[in-house]
Structure 1
Amino acid sequence: MRALFAVVFAFGLLVGAPAYADKEADAYYKEGLAYKMEGKVDQAIGSLEKAVAKNPQHGMAWASLGALYKQKKDLPKSISAYESATKVITKDKTLWRNLGTAYANNSQNDKARDALTTASKLDPKDAEIHALLGTVRRKLNDNKGAITELEQAVKIKADEGEWWHSLGVAYRFDNRIDDAIKAYEKAIEISPNESRYHFDAGAAWRRKDDPEKAIPHYEKATELDPTFSEGWFDLGFMYKRNHENDKAIAAWQKYLELNKGKDAEGGKRIEEEMTSIGGTPKKETPKKPAPKKAAPKKK
């Protein structure tokens, strides 16, 4: 009888906390949620930490802690909380997605891939999870896998410009330039004011040695973001390739102004390119020091 009691008691410890602990944990959990609703993050965390101390199997308290730690930019604690939550609540795609995202933000891309794969298996039609998986797989140099996930994402939900852009980047790394251009054009159609989308489309057309198609994208990129030094750099080369030397010189001069004090090697190259087509890099005239004021005469 004692042996049986010992087994039952041990099993009880494994499967959960005593009833009174559950009640106390629930009370702290509800208190934490109330604080969270009021925007009192630190108090919410304090109450939720008490909840999981009373009942380490309180999955919802762990899940809420994961979100709050993330809000506080404490990734290690956020990850630990989401890990504890998914051990208890094993079939919630949102928890696995949040855990995967936290891993990715902490540069733990192998674990991010595994967590997001679990999330995707729980809901294969969740486009956002496919898109996140695509991004993580590209970071892991699994470009084929990235393309598969991103293609699935845009198939399910076709109105996210960022996903089309990411797909274009993956195609470019796979040397599928025509497919990359189509993806970039789709991204631009959805979000026409993203300078990076135009820049990457221009770069793809540049890879195809088609300055007529590349130039409008580079021009748009630098129009949307006049501080986009890479855009001015590439635009100058496309103007030169198109025998528009005056425009090339002007674009490169803009690059030199933006690049001042940054990439010395890049600056030197552009100065040489400008000189080769008859341009003269403009140097800033050093400002003369202000004249010193005469000391007041003693009376």
Structure 2
Amino acid sequence: MARLLVTRILTITAVAALLVLGTGCPDKSKAEAIKAANRGAKALSSKQFDTAITEFKEAVRLDRDNFMAWYQLGESYRAKKEWNEAVEAFESASRLRPNDVMLNVRFGAALYEQAVDRERQAEATRLKKKPEEVTPDLRGVNFDAALQRLEAAVKVDPNLYNAQYYIGRIYRDQFKDAQAADAFTKAILAWPRFGAPYIALGELYRRWDYPNEAIQVVSQGVEHVMENEDKSKLFYILGMAYFDKVEDSKAITAFTEALKLSKDNHKAKFQRGQSHFRMGQLKEADKDFEEFSKSAGSGLAALKGIAQKFRFQIAAKQQPGGG
């Protein structure tokens, strides 16, 4: 998630804690809950998530009505991508403040991630694979609860870019592409430095076989986005759009930029190898395929097999009379 949203949330937390402390509290357990919540907020801001969880759990044990402790407990679990626990914490917070806008953003996003994670786990079990090795088909997943929360948030403030982004993801997963594109566009307009909606919209345009539009969108993202990881993904999508147009020289340049920003963008290495191969640059292609096969994880096992086939073809072409 973007830093601005996190900063805003932590600021709200600190102010809320100070207000409660300033008014005084005759109930000793509530006072102790506030102290635990403040320790949790400090740990969360330092990314000490396990410590934060311990402190926030203590806070809500002492005071079940401490909204911010429940909220930040959900944030701590969200940071660890423990979606079931995040949803439970946000649900407890929602009982106290059902119309809180920022809670609805986080709660809706967590409900979405929980649904995706469950489907991924189920798919992995069916296929007898690791969860990271499967891409679940999400068209049949019920995202109604998540969408309800997110839409409630943007009804209050349409410029909540993260909520718009998740709304776009839900529509995209349901193959409601027009609605998805609209939501991603709203997210971009609300906060142009947020990389994820550029990436998602670029992928949508590629799915529609509109490479020129994909190039235009992700080029804007490259200009505005600052985070290296997101920027690497943008250059990857840019390279794929050029690859779709069989403009391999430009594709290679984009994939190279993606790899400069993130050496772990293994797909960029694989795709650059394909562009080199298509251009007849067999030595460069073989190097990329070899490095990809060594460094990519098990989640890219299928692409590793394809890379190996390319290497066999390259070896055959390099033999005398191999063409």
Is TM (by shorter chain) over 0.5?
yes
Of 255-264 and 30-39, more deviation after overlay is shown by 255-264
Higher helix share: 2
* In 1, Cα distance between equivalents of 2:108 and 2:234: 26
Gaps of 5+ in 2: 1-23, 41-50, 117-142
Please, which of 38, 44, 60 is the counterpart of residue 48 of structure 1?
Answer: 60
Shift in CA distance, 246/160, structure 1 to aligned 2, threshold 3 Å: same
Residue by residue, what CA displacement relative to the aligned partner does 1:158-184 show, whole Å, maximum 9, x if unpaired?
Answer: 222333222212322333322211121
Of 255-264 and 31-40, more deviation after overlay is shown by 255-264
* In 1, Cα distance between equivalents of 2:292 and 2:108: 39
In structure 2, the partner of 1:32 is: 33
* In 1, Cα distance between equivalents of 2:214 and 2:96: 42
In structure 1, the partner of 2:158 is: 124
In structure 2, the partner of 1:243 is: 280
Please, which of 66, 72, 76 is the counterpart of residue 67 of structure 1?
Answer: 72
Please, which of 97, 105, 123 is the counterpart of residue 89 of structure 1?
Answer: 97
Residue by residue, what CA displacement relative to the aligned partner does 1:107-160 show, whole Å, maximum 9, x if unpaired?
Answer: 264322221111111212222321232233333433322211110111222222
Shift in CA distance, 255/96, structure 1 to aligned 2, threshold 3 Å: closer
* In 1, Cα distance between equivalents of 2:282 and 2:88: 58
In structure 2, the partner of 1:115 is: 149
**1:149-228 matched pairs, under 5 angstroms:** 149-191=183-225, 193=228, 194-226=231-263, 228=265
CA-CA distance at 1:36 after TM superposition = 1.6
- 3-state secondary structure, aligned to 2:98: coil
Residue by residue, what CA displacement relative to the aligned partner does 1:232-278 show, whole Å, maximum 9, x if unpaired?
Answer: 32222212322333333333333344469955632431222212431
CA-CA distance at 1:224 after TM superposition = 3.6
* In 2, Cα distance between equivalents of 1:77 and 1:241: 48
Gaps of 5+ in 1: 1-22, 53-57, 281-299
CA-CA distance at 1:69 after TM superposition = 4.5
* In 2, Cα distance between equivalents of 1:140 and 1:249: 38
CA-CA distance at 1:208 after TM superposition = 1.2
RMSD of Structure 2 on Structure 1 (CA): 3.2
Equivalenced residue count is 251
Higher relative contact order (CA 8 A, sep 6+): 2
CA-CA distance at 1:99 after TM superposition = 1.1
TM-score (norm: length of structure 1) = 0.70
> Is the contact between residue 270 and residue 307 of structure 2 (CA under 8 Å) also seen in structure 1?
no
Identity %: 18
TM-score (norm: length of structure 2) = 0.66
Please, which of 252, 270, 275 is the counterpart of residue 310 of structure 2?
Answer: 270
The question of 1:105 aligning with 2:142 is answered no
